[in-house]
């Protein structure tokens, strides 16, 4: 039985559930925007890019973004996307790593109330416990930790929105117009 269902004293408070939910919602925004960002870096219309990025885990999106940054620097010599934008994208991508680790902990641990301000979480991992696995497989969160994570995630969302809006976009209408022009020329 999950920890928070053992007794009414271990059940999370509504405020704890809300604090966890706020972080999870902002993380969903970050994952969506990472996909949009990758699409822009790959000069792909957003809807088409979603078919590719939708099934990618955040870590894969981040790896692909890192590779795209390098391609823009080395192969395209920052002619399509200015170097300062690429530097900002790399910085955002780095800041997402710690948020992703925290989000994974929040999403994959079973949480119970220690107090109205603190929660205990565990993965219920199998195997023979070691001191390292014990540290890795359980943890504590305070409401202030969740508030800080939420604030940090909101800042990343704002930064992603800003950098995405500064990047060139390739709209479906442009693609369709190019396709119709090339098919007219072939006739």
Query: pLDDT tens, 127-164?
Result: 555 666 566 678 899 999 999 999 999 999 999 999 99
Mean pLDDT of the chain: 89
- Is the confidence at residue 183, as pLDDT, over 80? no
Q: Count Cα neighbours of 56 within 13 Å in the Cβ-side half-sphere.
A: 21
pLDDT, one tens digit per residue, over 8-57 is: 778 999 999 999 999 999 999 999 999 999 999 999 999 899 998 999 99
User: The pTM is what?
Assistant: 0.85
Which residues have C-beta within 8 Å of that of residue 174, sequence separation ≥ 6?
45
Q: Compute CA distances 107 → 7, 24, 63, 131, whole Å.
A: 21, 8, 21, 23
Written as six digits, the tokens of 50 are 């979603």
Domain of residue 37 covers 3-186
Number of domains in the chain: 1
């Amino acid at each position: 039985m999950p920890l928070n269902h053992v007794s009414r004293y271990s059940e999370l408070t509504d405020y704890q559930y809300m604090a966890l939910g706020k972080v999870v919602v902002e993380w969903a925004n970050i994952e969506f925007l990472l996909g949009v960002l990758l699409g822009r870096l790959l000069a792909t219309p957003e809807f088409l890019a979603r078919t590719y990025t939708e099934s990618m885990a955040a870590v894969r999106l981040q790896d692909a973004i890192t590779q795209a940054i390098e391609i823009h620097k080395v192969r395209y010599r920052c002619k399509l996307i200015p170097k300062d934008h690429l530097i900002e994208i790399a910085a955002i991508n780095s800041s997402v790593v710690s948020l992703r680790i925290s989000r994974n902990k929040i999403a994959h641990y079973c949480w119970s109330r220690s107090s109205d301000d603190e929660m205990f979480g565990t993965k219920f991992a199998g195997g023979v416990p070691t001191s390292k696995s014990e540290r890795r497989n359980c943890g504590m969160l305070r409401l202030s930790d969740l508030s800080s994570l939420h604030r940090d995630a909101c800042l990343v969302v704002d930064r992603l929105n800003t950098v995405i809006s500064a990047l060139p976009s390739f709209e479906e209408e442009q693609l369709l117009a190019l396709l119709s022009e090339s098919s007219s020329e072939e006739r």
